[in-house]
Amino acid sequence: MCGIVGYVGKEDSAPILIDGLRRLEYRGYDSAGLAVHDGERIQVVRAVGKLRELEKAVGAAPLPGSLGIGHTRWATHGRPSEINAHPHVAGKVAVIHNGIIENHMPLRERLEKGGSEIVSDTDTEIVAHLIDEQLRKGGDLLASVRGALAQVEGAYAIAVTSQDEPDRLVVAKSASPLVLGLGEGENFCGSDIPALLPYTKRVIVLEDGQLAVLTRETVEISTLEGAPVEAEVRTIDWSPMMAEKAGYKHFMLKEIFEQPRAIEDTLRGRLDREHGDITGAELGLADEHVPGIERVYLVACGTSHHAAMAGRYYFESLTGLPTSVELASELRARDPVIGPGDLVIAISQSGETLDTLMAAKLAKEKGARVLAIANVMGSAIPRMADGELYTRAGPEIGVASTKCFTAQLAALLMLAVYLGRRRGRLSPERTAELVEAMARLSHQMRDVLQGTRQLVMNLARRHVDARDVLFLGRGLNFPIALEGALKLKEISYVHAEGYASGEMKHGPIALIDSAVPVVVLVPQDECRDKSMGNLQEAKARGGRIIAIATESDDEVHQLSDDVVEIPAAGSELTPFLTVLPLQLYAYYVADFKGTDVDQPRNLAKTVTVE
Ligand code: F6R
């Protein structure tokens, strides 16, 4: 998730672009850059770090010109560095990009064989070279962008400027957002409305498969195939703060609703639906490592530890490998028996959590292979690891982790399927079935978010004064019960406990009375019938039962006070769906209580102390 802006008008473009990037910095902030056309040539300035570094660089080497493009990066391919920062230049074109080009590897090989000098590790530079290749064949910029995009698979929002066309910006979109802003004698583009709001309230939201040519006076939209498009112009009345959160009240709510996109991006280019398999690309593990793995350790803290607990179910059942889950802080409090033959997977959204970093270092010293699952490219844990698998959730700003959690689940499931297939534990048919189920997941998540929001909000309103809440789950949904309780605790300060459903009768059942909402996860899976027994036990003690269940489960409806329904899905996929109403529940309870949802008391987004 990166931020892009473009400007063509009468003013100096650099300050407008930097201002737009500042409003998009929530989309990424590891490096930034500008390309400005001064009428004769394009000049590029790039800098690693936050936007102020770019501002300093532009201050030292001003960029005159009234047409330009700017980018703030959240690395997906290639670490944060000046060479990997956008814009990328090939021949006479400069390109900025938000998205993921899935077939960048074969395109890179072909271009390099043809003599292109590709200097960065990014997928974006490939697009720049493809456009340059088309320009050399004699087309104009628009035709060349079309010709290049015809070869590309994946997600993109791009903006392109060419030295030979000082008055035109060409932009295009597929699966990544792009908005055009209409001014007087000037036009704009940006990843999101906030970048444009200080300059214009009139916008066009570009659709997938559309290109636009922006000049000072005109905006012309067409399809990739060349058919003209009449687009609707909308007038936006958001305040800049609302716009940054895309109209949501808090970043946390925005991030909850971003999860389908985060899952799509995390799976992008890694699911091989044609062959019903997981591609080894960018998993941090290659086929040659598989035979050497005898045991798996999953190491993490907090929410990432809950993802690890779900990961153990995946690894044990799909790969047959003995798998342990470890709290990073506790692993180092012991003398763990780890060594060669062990694959230690360190899971961390930030990639900087000190406990997880130190545990991963310890494992490496003991001879294990360390694989990092992280969301922040180039962060400390992936840097020290032997392999890295990035979730592509984009920056998570709310302190309570939501979209990174489900992206971690997706990463773990992919890894387990990949290993399970190569270890012969999964048949080709079962592997293909899981791959297809993963490909459907984002649609199901969208349905759950839209379909349950109002009901969950009503439940939260009704139970806002509850002093204690219990969350019960079994099997893969036990870690989800823990996660539901953690979310509620950390943002609403309500006492909540997650339990394995079967464990309740060994003690916690004493807590239940009519003042305690009991959230029971009973989706249709191997554990459902046993969990129903536990639901009944809680009901018999007067607990107010909120069930999270698969749609049309009549028995659950009869026994529960309220039921939040999720669509039918294979057992492995249910945690992605059951966690969504729990996140929404925590969010709305906190919002009704009026707590600081995005920055709850006593917590920090990145914990770099032991
Ligand atoms: C809870 C939460 C924390 C983090 C934990 C680990 O919502 O966000 O529990 O999960 O601090 O952080 P990372 O994943 O960055 O290592």
Distance from residue 301's CA to the centre of ligand 1 (Å): 6
Taking the CA of residue 381 as reference, the ligand 1 atom at the shortest distance is 16
pLDDT band at 135 (very low <50, low <70, confident <90, very high): very high
Q: Domain boundaries in the chain?
A: 3-244, 280-426, 445-593
Least confident of 83-97, 198-212, 239-253, 437-451: 239-253
pLDDT band at 450 (very low <50, low <70, confident <90, very high): very high
- Identify whether 404 is a catalytic site residue: no
The answer to whether the CB of 16 falls within 8 A of the CB of 206 is: no
pLDDT digits (tens, 9 = 90+) for 174-227: 988 899 999 999 999 999 888 898 899 899 989 999 999 999 999 999 999 999
DSSP string, 326-360: EEHHHHTTS-----TTEEEEEEESSS--HHHHHHH
**Spatial separation of the C-alpha atoms in residues 395 and 203, rounded to whole Å:** 25
pLDDT band at 520 (very low <50, low <70, confident <90, very high): very high
Mention every residue, 6+ apart, whose C-beta is less than 8 A from residue 263.
406, 407, 410, 441, 442, 445, 576
Catalytic residue among 2, 189, 404, 527: 2
CATH topology (fold) of 280-426: Rossmann fold (3.40.50)
Question: How much of the chain, in percent, has pLDDT values that exceed 90?
Answer: 82
Say if 280-426 and 445-593 have the same CATH topology.
Answer: yes
Mutate to test the pocket of ligand 1, among 350, 396, 606, 609 (most ligand atoms within 8 A of CB): 350
Q: What is the b/e burial string over 133-149, where b = at least 16 CB atoms within 10 angstroms of the residue's CB? A: bbbeeeeebbebbbbbb
**Spatial separation of the C-alpha atoms in residues 27 and 554, rounded to whole Å:** 43
Q: Among the CATH numbers 3.60.20.10, 3.90.1150.10, 3.40.228.10, 3.20.20.70, which is that of 3-244? A: 3.60.20.10
Mutate to test the pocket of ligand 1, among 251, 256, 304 (most ligand atoms within 8 A of CB): 304
Q: Report whether pLDDT(323) > 90.
A: yes
Mention every residue, 6+ apart, whose C-beta is less than 8 A from residue 73.
2, 28, 29, 30, 31, 32, 33, 80, 84, 85, 86
Mean pLDDT of the chain: 94
Please give the pLDDT value at position 504: 87
- Identify whether 605 is a catalytic site residue: yes
Catalytic residue among 201, 361, 593, 605: 605
pLDDT band at 126 (very low <50, low <70, confident <90, very high): very high
Task: Output the pTM of the full model.
Answer: 0.83
The answer to whether the CB of 212 falls within 8 A of the CB of 42 is: no
pLDDT digits (tens, 9 = 90+) for 25-49: 877 778 999 999 999 999 999 999 8
Taking the CA of residue 399 as reference, the ligand 1 atom at the shortest distance is 8
- Using alpha carbons, select from 459, 492, 483, 448 the residue that is nearest to residue 580: 448
Taking the CA of residue 301 as reference, the ligand 1 atom at the shortest distance is 6
Least confident of 58-62, 72-76, 599-603: 599-603
Helix (H) or strand (E) holding 302: helix 302-319
Residue of the nearest CA to atom 16 in ligand 1? 348
Distance from residue 607's CA to the centre of ligand 1 (Å): 8
Distance from residue 203's CA to the centre of ligand 1 (Å): 37
Distance from residue 328's CA to the centre of ligand 1 (Å): 12
Question: How much of the chain, in percent, has pLDDT values that exceed 70?
Answer: 98
Taking the CA of residue 404 as reference, the ligand 1 atom at the shortest distance is 14
- Partners of 520 in the β-ladder: 472, 547
Mutate to test the pocket of ligand 1, among 251, 330, 331, 349 (most ligand atoms within 8 A of CB): 349
Distance from residue 275's CA to the centre of ligand 1 (Å): 35
Q: Does domain 445-593 have CATH number 1.10.10.1100?
A: no
pLDDT digits (tens, 9 = 90+) for 232-283: 898 876 666 666 787 899 999 999 999 999 999 999 999 999 999 999 878 9
Helix (H) or strand (E) holding 88: strand 88-90
Which residues approach ligand 1 with their CB closer than 6 A?
A: 301-304, 348-350, 353, 356, 400-401, 486, 490, 607
Distance from residue 485's CA to the centre of ligand 1 (Å): 14
Residue of the nearest CA to atom 5 in ligand 1? 302
Chain position carrying tokens 């703060």: 241
pLDDT digits (tens, 9 = 90+) for 368-419: 999 999 998 878 899 899 999 999 998 888 989 999 999 999 999 999 999 9
pLDDT digits (tens, 9 = 90+) for 454-477: 999 999 999 999 999 999 999 999
Distance from residue 489's CA to the centre of ligand 1 (Å): 14
What one-character DSSP code corresponds to residue 202?
A: E
Helix (H) or strand (E) holding 438: helix 428-462
Residue of the nearest CA to atom 7 in ligand 1? 400
The mean per-residue pLDDT over the stretch 293-304 comes to 98
Helix (H) or strand (E) holding 212: strand 210-214
Residue of the nearest CA to atom 9 in ligand 1? 302
The residue type found at 481 is A
Q: Report whether pLDDT(14) > 80.
A: yes
